[in-house]
Amino acid sequence: MPKGKPDPASIPDDGLTTRQRRMLPVTAVHTGPGKGKSTAAFGMALRAWNQGMNIGVFQFVKSAKWKVGEEAVFRRLGELHEQTGEGGAVEWHKMGEGWSWARKPGAEEDHARDAAEGWAEIRRRIETETHDFYVLDEFTYPIKWGWIDVDDVVATLADRPGRQHIVMTGRDADPKLIEVADLVTEMTKIRHPMDQGRKGQKGIEW
Amino acid sequence: MPKGKPDPASIPDDGLTTRQRRMLPVTAVHTGPGKGKSTAAFGMALRAWNQGMNIGVFQFVKSAKWKVGEEAVFRRLGELHEQTGEGGAVEWHKMGEGWSWARKPGAEEDHARDAAEGWAEIRRRIETETHDFYVLDEFTYPIKWGWIDVDDVVATLADRPGRQHIVMTGRDADPKLIEVADLVTEMTKIRHPMDQGRKGQKGIEW
C-alpha cells in the first residue's frame, strides 16, 4: 500500500548519499483547525522513543488538564528507560504549571514571560544538543501572540547542530515556520462530535 | 488555549445528560493525502490505553516493515498491563503476515480474501464487544478496492452495542464512511521531505 517511495527523478543533486539523507534532521509542523495535530506529534515521539532517542516535550498550554493521557504514558516510558534501558529518556515540561526549571513560588502569572522563558530554555537545549526529538506542543500560539520572536525560532532551527528532530504543533502556523519546515501537514476538520454538542470523552479527548 | 468548548447554544435537544453524552462511542476517520493519519490514531490509542481500555489494532497493510515503532511500543504496553495491571490490554494484528487467527500455512496469497477475513473477524469482535478501542489502520483501501463491503461496515458500526470507540485511517475514505463517522479529520500534505528526494528516517518514518 502507500509506501511514499520517492520518484528516482526527484532525488536531489545535493551530493549526499542515501545514507546521509537518512541522517538529516526533520523539522515538522502540524497545523490547521482539525484534530490530531498534537496526537500525531506524540505518535511520532513514540517511534522515536522506540529507536532509543532522547525525547523532550514542551507544552505551551495553559491548562494541565489536557493531554494527561499522553503525558502519563510517556512518563511511564521514561521510567521504563531508566529501569531497563529500553527506548529513550523522556522529559516532559509544561508551561501551565510554570516550567519546572523556572518555578518562582509566589511569582505573578505572566504567560508572555513564561512563553519567552520556555523558548529560551529550548534554544539552549537545541544549541547544546540535549534531546534527539523535540515536541513543541501548541508552540504556534505564543508566536502568533508575539510572545516569541519567529525570526529567532527560524534562525535557531535552521542553524541547529547535529541531528535533532523537531515537531511543532498548533493552528495558524506562521508562514516563516512553514518555510523552515520540511514536513508540514494541515489537519482540516471535516466533522467533529462537538459540533453536535457532544462532550469530550474519557480516553478520546484526554 | 483552544479548549474546544461547545457553544451552549449547540447542545443538542436529545434528552441526554452531559454525563450520558460523555459515554457515547466515537467513530473517527483520518483521511486525506497528508501524513499523520495512522500516527494520530495510535496517539488516540495511547490515551485510551492509559484509561484502561482494551485496545485492538488491525492493520490492513501489506508490508510488516511499516509502523514497527508503534507496534513495538504497544506490545510493550500490553505486557506492562499483563505484568502490573497498568493501562489496558493490547492486541495487535496485521494482515501482511496473514492474520494470526487465520494462518493457513502454505495457502496462496490472496489479499482480497485476507481483507474480507480481517473484516469478518473485526465484525465478530464488535458484535461481542471484545475491545473498547479499535484502530482499523489503512482500512479505507480494501473498501476502495471492493474487497470489503462498505454497506456492511456502515451497518455494523451504526448498530454496534455498548461503547466501543473505532478509529479508521487511510486515503480516499468512502463517503458512506465519512457519513457514519462523527469525527472526521483530513490530513493535507503541504510539504513533505520526500518531495525533495529525502529518504525515510529512522525514528520518524518507522
Q: Which domain holds residue B113?
A: 24-187
Residue A36 lies inside a defined structural domain of this protein: yes
In a domain, B14, yes or no: no
Closest CA to A138 of A147, A129, A125: A147
Residue A166: the pLDDT is 97
Do residues B119 and B148 touch, judged by C-beta distance below 8 A? Answer: yes
In a domain, B48, yes or no: yes
What pLDDT, on a 0 to 100 scale, did the predictor assign at position B11?
Answer: 56
User: A12, B40: Cβ pair inside 8 Å?
Assistant: no
**Tens digit of each residue's pLDDT (9 = 90 or more) over A112-167:** 999 999 999 999 999 999 999 999 999 999 999 999 999 999 999 999 999 999 99
Q: Does B106 touch chain A (CB under 8 A)?
A: no
SS3 state of residue A137: strand
Contact call for A77 and B73, based on CB within 8 A: yes
In a domain, B10, yes or no: no
CATH code at position A162: 3.40.50.300
Q: What is the DSSP letter of B164?
A: -
3-state secondary structure of B152: helix
Positive or negative: CA dihedral B105, B109, B113, B118: positive
- Per-position DSSP letters for B95-120, written without gaps between them: STT--GGG--TTPPP-HHHHHHHHHH
B2 neighbourhood in chain A, CB within 8 Å: 171
Grid cell locating A108: 505573578
pLDDT for B117 equals 94
Instruction: With a cut of 50, list the residues of chain A below it in pLDDT.
Output: 1-9
- DSSP state letter for A36: -
Is the separation of the CB atoms in B163 and B132 below 8 Å?
A: yes
Q: Is residue B45 part of a domain?
A: yes
Taking CA atoms, B134 is separated from A186, B124, B191, in Å, by 24, 13, 30
Question: Which run of H or of E encompasses A39?
Answer: helix A37-50
Which residue among B47, B183, B193 places its CB closest to the CB of A183?
A: B193
Taking the alpha carbons at both ends of chain B, their separation in whole angstroms is 31
State which residue of chain A sits closest to B47, comparing Cα positions: A69
pLDDT at residue B199 greater than cutoff 80: no
Report, as an integer, the average pLDDT of B34-42.
Answer: 91
Residue B73 lies in a domain: yes
Checking if the pLDDT of B85 tops 90, the result is yes
Average pLDDT over residues B123-134: 97
User: In this predicted model, which residue has the larger pLDDT, B89 or A68?
Assistant: B89
> Among partner residues B1, B183, B197, which is closest to A138 by beta-carbon distance?
B1
Q: Is residue B17 part of a domain?
A: no
User: How does DSSP assign A51-101, residue by residue?
Assistant: TTPPEEEEE--S-TTTTHHHHHHHHHHHHHHHHH--S--EEEEESTT--GG
Asked if A143 contacts A153 with a C-beta cutoff of 8 angstroms, the reply is: yes
The total number of residues shown for chain A amounts to: 206
Residues from chain A contacting residue B72 (CB–CB below 8 Å):
50
Q: Give the span between the Cα atoms of B171 and B34, in whole angstroms.
A: 9
Cell numbers at residue A153, please? 525560532
Size of interface A-B (CB pairs under 8 A): 248
Number of domains composing chain B? 1
Is the pLDDT score of B1 beyond 50?
A: no
Nearest CA in chain B to A13: B197
Per residue in B138-155, pLDDT tens? 999 999 999 999 999 999
pLDDT at site B156: 97
Predicted pLDDT of residue A54: 97
Q: Could you say which residues from 82 to 101 on chain A have a Cβ atom under 8 Å away from some Cβ of chain B?
A: 86-87
* Per-residue confidence (pLDDT) for residue B16, from 0 to 100: 57
The residue type found at A102 is A
In a domain, A121, yes or no: yes
